[in-house]
Chain A
Amino acid sequence: MRAIHFMMIDYIKVKQQLYFMPLFIVIALVLWGQGFSFLMPFSYMIFVAIIFATAPFGACKRGDAGFLVLLPSTAAHRVMGRFLYGMSFAGLAVVCSGIFMAYYQITGYEIETWTVAVSLFILAFCILVITLEFLLLYLVGEHLAPQLLGIVRVAPAMASFFAIMYVMDDVKEMGNISMDSSVGLSIMYHMGSEMVQIGGIAVAAALAIWAAAIVICVKVTKRRDFV
């Protein structure tokens, strides 16, 4: 419960940035409305999730320690709260995309199995990127110089987004997959439901790495001075 309370504190700390969240959801909807596959808005939401996940690190000042570190809790509560905050944005991307998919199906389009598999791989990738960012930020210290923090926050998100776009380059619309498409996507197309299972395993593996990262970050934080 204390971890949840720390997650809420992170939301309050970055609330001014969160006011822009509806705008990003609208952009995702616009992208989808332009006739792109639902994978496009999903990838976009993942990009947004990666950027927002690290926002509280930018809102840390050394003086806060007098309040936050002294709240009756352990390092594990604080770190877990921060990780839950980060993961909540991956959750938001999934929820938004779930709504997109549901709407797609209600309006008569068929969601092909391979797109579900790709979504799972993208989600696993997102969890992994957020986890690595958190690991880095905890290892070098939460109070990074703002410029460096800016790079750490934005660069992986941009790189992820463009990497996904590169892979998806030859997918102009749903179902337009053939053996001429990129090898990875072709495999997914032809393996069908097995790929969904493998995607599920990838998400589970990413979550396991996320949990392991929490343990490492707790150990680092336990030894750290906050001023």
Chain B
Amino acid sequence: MELLEVKNLSKHYKAFDLQNINFTLPKGYIMGYVGPNGSGKSTTLNLITNICKSSEGEIRINGISCEEDAVAYKEQIGYIGDEFYFPDTFKVKNIRRVLKNFYPTFSEEKFDGYLNKWKLPEKKPIKDFSRGMKVMLMFASVLSRDTKLLVLDEATNGLDPVMRTEILELLQEYVMDGERSVIFSTHILSDLEQIADYIYFIHQGRTVLYDAKDELIENYLLIKGERSAVSGELKKELIGVIDNAYGFEALLPSDKAGLLGSDFHYEKPNIDQIVVHYIKDGR
């Protein structure tokens, strides 16, 4: 059962076009949405959250589009961005009050539980919170109500490894009941390596790769060797050749492994390496 459906999504700006994004995210899974700066990650997530309006295409969460029922659509979303989004003049009590007013499923007990767990001070002005505290406050606000889709836009940026690990555990817990999903954009690809089930890789507003993470890793080999040993046929299949002091490094589709002789060293790539070589290939 699909929780999030994105069909033919496009957004046109003067200097940038997001083109024809298509994917689905089943219930109970985590999708890593990756790409270099300016590739369209935040644009896509802003379209999903309806912070921006699409030029074309359709987005549905649990079968509901924002145009059909904005309230029901938004109730299902928990969003955490790179930027702290509570107004500066707010205090924790104001956030609690607003959440209570707007979300029927908001639980004060859960919210206060997270505040205590993460030692978030009730009385301190939130504009004086540290980056970590601000992120945890955003998490407390979305986890204390019944959301179906967590949309994280580089939410773990600037956090220390302990806090990041805690967040990754939270995300895994979140999807555990098989009813909820996470779409997660980050530059820290090692985080995705740990928790993502699907990877959507976008570059210059266009889809480059979209597959289950394990499939993606299985589908490629990371090749290292001497440049001089590369035959013409093999050269055509290599993706994102990077020269270094010891020769070269590139990706090769696994089904082309037969082209490799004994002159090359190869291994399974990680997500980071796949992304880097694809970006290199695109330039």
Contacts and interface: CB of A to CB of B under 8 A. Distances in A.
| A complexed with B | yes
Interface of A: 2, 5, 8-9, 12-16, 59, 61-75, 223-227
A122 B52 CA distance: 40
Contacts of A72: 70-72, 74-75, 102-103
B89 A5 contact: no
A9 B89 CA distance: 10
7 contacts: A61-B88, A65-B85, A66-B81, A71-B74, A72-B75, A72-B103, A227-B51
A16 B74 contact: no
A224 to B, nearest CB: 7
B80 to A, nearest CB: 8
Interface residues of B, number: 30
A74 B70 contact: yes
B89 A73 contact: no
B11 to A, nearest CB: 9
B75 to A, nearest CB: 4
B98 A225 contact: no
Interface in B44-81: 46, 49-53, 70-72, 74-75, 77, 79-81
A84 to B, nearest CB: 15
Given A12-B90, A71-B74, A225-B52, A66 B98 contact: no
Contacts of A12: 87, 89-90, 94, 98
B87 A5 contact: no
Taking chain A's interface residues, is the majority helix, strand, or loop, or is none over half, making it mixed? Answer: helix
Contacts, number: 85
B114 interface: no
Interface string B203-238: 000000000000000000000000000000000000
Contacts of A65: 51, 85
Interface in B78-117: 79-81, 83-90, 94, 97-98, 101-103
Interface of B: 42, 46, 49-53, 70-72, 74-75, 77, 79-81, 83-90, 94, 97-98, 101-103
Given A5-B101, A73-B102, A227-B52, A66 B79 contact: yes
Contacts of A62: 83
A2 B101 CA distance: 8
A73 B74 contact: yes
B74 A226 contact: no
Contacts of A67: 85-87
Nearest to A76: B70
Given A8-B97, A74-B71, 20 more contacts: A5-B102, A8-B98, A9-B98, A12-B89, A13-B87, A63-B81, A63-B83, A63-B84, A64-B85, A64-B86, A66-B83, A66-B85, A69-B50, A70-B50, A70-B77, A72-B102, A224-B53, A225-B53, A227-B42, A227-B51
